[in-house]
């Protein structure tokens, strides 16, 4: 049976490929979507990738995932460090939640060192570029098996 997984991305991630390529790489957001779909298919996961710059929309998507017990791979982006609304929505999830980051926040500016989401996530994967998403999807596949 195929498991549905939401891959949710926060602010500015829709600008992958053009936004700070020295930090985030030169693959476009469309490339990320394609990559997640391929990796998911190889793991028998039905992957839906979404991105928003709107905190309320991201919270709404998490509420739906909580109601449907859908596993989530979440790159909260800037919301990582201060969005208690996002953290509280994540705390309601009943399926695995993998927090993912392209860069390693702990190796960057001090304000990036704190994640309000990490405490309610099943686990966090960071610092492996877009391969962080591959690892997160593999974690979900292992956890739901």
65: part of which helix (H) or strand (E)?
A: helix 55-68
In the set 29, 63, 84, 101, the catalytic residue is 101
Q: Among this protein's residues, is 24 annotated catalytic?
A: yes
Handedness of CA 117, 12, 68, 128 (dihedral sign): negative
Say if CB 46 and CB 40 are below 8 A apart: yes
Q: Among this protein's residues, is 101 annotated catalytic?
A: yes
In the set 24, 60, 113, 133, the catalytic residue is 24
Residue 9 marked as a ligand binder: no
The secondary structure of 115-144 as a DSSP string is -SSGGGSSEEEESSTTHHHHHHHHHHHHHH
Residue 60 marked as a ligand binder: no
**Residue whose pair of structure tokens reads 């704190």 in the numeric block:** 114
Residue 98 marked as a ligand binder: no
Residue 88 marked as a ligand binder: yes
Residue 87 marked as a ligand binder: no
Residue 63 marked as a ligand binder: no
Say if CB 17 and CB 83 are below 8 A apart: no
The binding site consists of: 75, 81, 88, 102-103, 112
Active-site residue set: 24, 101
Report the binding-site residues for substrate.
75, 81, 88, 102-103, 112
């Amino acid at each position: 049976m195929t498991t549905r997984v939401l891959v949710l991305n926060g602010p500015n991630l829709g600008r992958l490929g053009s936004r700070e390529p020295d930090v985030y790489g030169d693959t476009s957001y469309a490339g990320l979507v394609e990559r997640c779909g391929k990796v998911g298919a190889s793991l028998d996961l039905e992957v839906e990738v979404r991105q928003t710059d709107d905190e309320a929309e991201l919270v709404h998507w998490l509420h739906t995932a909580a109601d449907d017990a859908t596993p989530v791979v979440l790159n909260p982006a800037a919301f990582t460090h201060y969005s208690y609304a996002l953290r509280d929505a994540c705390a309601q999830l009943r399926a695995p939640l993998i927090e993912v980051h392209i860069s390693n926040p702990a190796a960057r500016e001090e304000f990036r060192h704190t994640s309000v989401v990490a405490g309610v996530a099943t686990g966090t994967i960071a610092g492996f570029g877009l391969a962080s998403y591959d690892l997160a999807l593999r974690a979900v596949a292992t956890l739901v098996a």
